[in-house]
Amino acid sequence: MTGQPDLPDTQMESLRGAYVYETPVRLWHWINALSVVVLSITGYLIGVPLPTTTGDASEWYVMGWMRFFHYVSAYVFTIGLIVRVWWAAVGNRYARQMFYLPIWRRSWVSELLYQLRWMLFAERRSMLYLGHNPLANAMMFTLFLIPSVIVTITGFAMYAEASGHESWQYAAFAWFIDLWVNTQDLHTIHRLAMWVIVLFAIAHIYTAVREDIMSGQSMISTMVNGERLFKGRGVIKR
Amino acid sequence: METFYEAMRRRGVSRRRFLKFCTMTAASLGLPPAMVPEVARALETKPRIPVLWLHGLECTCCSESFIRSAHPLATDVVLSMISLDYHNTLMAAAGHQAEEIIAEITTNHKGRYIVAVEGNPPLGDDGVYCIVGGKPFLHQLQEACRDAMAVIAWGTCASWGCVQAARPNPTQAVPVHEVIRDKPVIKVPGCPPIAEVMTGVLSYILTFGTLPELDRQGRPKMFYSQRVHDKCYRRAHFDAGQFVERWDDDGARMGYCLYKMGCRGPTTYNACSATEWNDGLSFPIKSGHGCLGCSEKDFWDRGPFYNRLTDIDQFGIEKNADEIGAVAAVAAGAAVAGHALVSAGQRLLQKRGSDDDNA
């Protein structure tokens, strides 16, 4: 554990920075991003397959490979999520932020509204945060974490259909099928959750780039080397 | 009460044919050859199980399917096998005479008879939408089930509700397990269920005196543990990515996979692709039409039947997940582009302002 960075809350002119995202968090972020890309593309093409192939069926394995890559990246995604939850428990405080919304903290709520106004061009300056700002935190929780849990459960429930009654997937996830019974609904929910994650990706990438340029704090390089850098004045919030 | 074997002999079935029948029954239940004598002994010694076959809101397609069973043998054998004492369309009795049979069986065979239900009870307006013998069907069902050993829910109506329970379900039809809660209910869904599956379930109960192993949804595992897709003979075309794109295209003529035409095989638990229909003659996919998923809950409300993706009409419009997702993604993309433009403009203005300050 690296502990909490010791930063004076004073206003300084020089470039200030601190190590916030530990290696497992950064590694997870990029592996997870890659798996989401593979999962979304293959998943989309499983529901809406590519134009038909012709010739002998034994010469092709298009849907087979599509499903194979979907399953492999699904395992990467799921195991990554589990490791990430574990790291939230043992890592520094910034590793935990994504997993809860501190709505009971009045300052968090008012800063969430401030960040919203900032994104709507109603505030001239962004606040500075070592970790996630409240708006980013809210977005990660609602548009990434929750749909991720939903795609994982529905995904494994559908996996259990193919692997059969004796499989561990069936033992672990068949209860979820009971909620809808008709497994066509699992496909629909799975797909809707995928689209929510696509929306998240659009908003996430855009706001990361924008904040990197406009808010006076580093974003993209932080997810590469773990260092949050601040330029200019301003009180840094934890 | 006479045994199944006695009833068969009385109907002129030879011992040889009887043993053949036992072999077929064992095979259809997935039992090893060594179990054939067990089946024969059971049918020779055990008294026939009385069956009350009730009809609620339904179309009689389950009965139509049932009487076409090929393995176990056809009509007369099956009918003598289970001592079908009450069946609206098949029994000779009518009127009060017929209704008395129910009272007779339920009092004289307490806990040793089976109620097979075709169709389901409508609960709306005190059940007036289905009257049997002058009473709402719900009452007949509850009376008949009171001392039953088990209840078999024939077909999708009795198992899940089927078409009469589809939105908006004006008669409030409900599946059997929602009104009969104190008895084991075996669901044998399908619209109709496969004849051999129906007789297979009955012959299992008769042979072993116990109910078949059920899955989490209450369906016999031996017939409903796999999807149509898992055993489909066109599965190789699915894995290869060879699909029918339009009716009557080359792919349709070549027998390619019907997935893109909305086939529900991947989400439908039934034995169609294994046992097929009409003595193994064919099944929908083999005839070139996708599976409708008729043995699944609310399959009427999971349309369109010719689209892979189900419409979501909770939003008041008929759109599937992709259409909703794509619209949202395009909207988000446009919002991002607009936001970026405004941000860039604002930044430009600020810069110009600070340049002016410096000058």
- Could you report the per-residue pLDDT of B228-263, keeping only the tens digit for each? 999 999 999 999 999 999 999 999 999 999 999 999
DSSP run (H or E) holding B300: none
B227 contacts chain A (CB < 8 A): yes
Look at residue A4 in the predicted model and tell me its pLDDT: 47
Looking at residue A1, its pLDDT comes to 39
| Structure token digits, residue B336 | 């991002």
pLDDT for position B71: 67
What residues form DSSP beta bridges with B319?
A: B312
- For the CA atoms of chain A, what is the radius of gyration? 21
Mutate to test the interface with A, among B216, B249, B258 (most CBs of A within 10 A): B216
DSSP state of A124: S
CA dist B204 and B43 (Å) reads 11
The answer to whether B349 contacts chain A (CB < 8 Å) is: no
pLDDT tens-digit profile of A47-94?
999 999 988 999 999 999 999 999 999 999 999 999 999 999 999 999
ipTM of the complex: 0.87
How many interface pairs between A and B have CB atoms less than 8 angstroms apart? 137
Q: Is the pLDDT of residue A5 over 70?
A: no
Q: Is B225 an interface residue toward A (CB < 8 Å)? A: yes
Taking alpha carbons only, the member of B152, B180, B178 closest to residue B165 is B178
CA distance B167 to chain A (A): 15
Burial class (CB in 10 A: 0-12, 13-18, 19+), B212: middle
Tell me which chain A residues have a C-beta less than 8 angstroms from the C-beta of B241: 49-50, 52-53, 60-63, 66
In the chain, the amino acid numbered B163 is V
Domain boundaries, given as residue ranges, for chain A: 18-237
Among the ranges A213-217, A218-222, B72-76, B200-204, which has the highest mean pLDDT value? A218-222
Q: Which residue has the higher pLDDT, B100 or A88?
A: A88
The average pLDDT across B47-68 equals 88
Cα(B147)–Cα(B112) distance, integer angstroms: 8
Q: Which residue in this structure is represented by tokens 């297979």?
A: B200
Nearest to A214 among B244, B310, B347 (CB): B347
Residues 301-320 of chain B whose Cβ lies under 8 A from any Cβ of chain A: 302, 308-310, 312, 320
Backbone angles phi, psi at B96, to 5 degrees: -60, -35
> Is A187–B259 a contact, with Cβ atoms under 8 angstroms apart?
no
B220: nearest Cα among B200, B191, B239? B200
- Model confidence at B348: pLDDT above 60: yes
For chain A, percent of residues with pLDDT exceeding 90: 72
- Residue pair B330/B191 in contact by the 8 Å Cβ criterion: no
Give the 3-state secondary structure of residue B211: coil
Residue B45 is predicted with a pLDDT of 86
Segment B105-138, tens digit of pLDDT? 899 889 889 999 999 999 999 999 999 888 999 9
Mean of all residue pLDDT scores within chain B = 88
Q: Does B348 touch chain A (CB under 8 A)?
A: no
Q: What's the fold here for domain A18-237?
A: Fumarate Reductase Cytochrome B subunit (1.20.950)
pLDDT tens-digit profile of A119-138? 998 888 888 899 999 999 99
Shortest distance, CA A143 to any CA of chain B (angstroms): 13
Report whether B154 contacts B118 (CB < 8 A).
yes
Between B7 and A91, the more confident residue is A91
What gap in Å lies between CA B73 and CA B13, rounded to an integer?
11
The CA distance from B241 to the nearest CA of chain A, in Å, is 5
Higher pLDDT, A14 or B12: B12
Pick from A63, A175, A196 the residue to mutate for testing the B interface (most B CBs within 10 Å): A63
**B 137-166 → A contacts, CB under 8 A:** 160
Distance from CA of A218 to the nearest CA of B (A): 17
Residue B330 contacts A, CB cutoff 8 Å: no
Quick one: pLDDT at residue A103?
92
What is the C-alpha to C-alpha distance for residues B146 and B110, in angstroms, rounded to an integer?
Answer: 9
Contact yes or no for B346 and A198 at CB 8 A: no
pLDDT at B220 over 90: yes
Question: What pLDDT, on a 0 to 100 scale, did the predictor assign at position B355?
Answer: 65
Q: What whole-number percentage of chain B has pLDDT above 90? A: 54
Nearest to A162 by CA among A62, A36, A70: A70
Q: Which residues of B touch A183 (CB under 8 A)?
A: 267, 296
Q: What is the pLDDT of residue B180?
A: 94
Taking Cα atoms as reference points, which of B292, B227, B236 lies closest to residue A162? B227
> Which chain B residues are closer than 8 Å to A60 by Cβ?
240-242
Strand bridging mode B319-320 / B51-55: unpaired
User: For residue B21, is pLDDT > 90?
Assistant: no
Query: Residue B47: its pLDDT value, please?
Result: 79
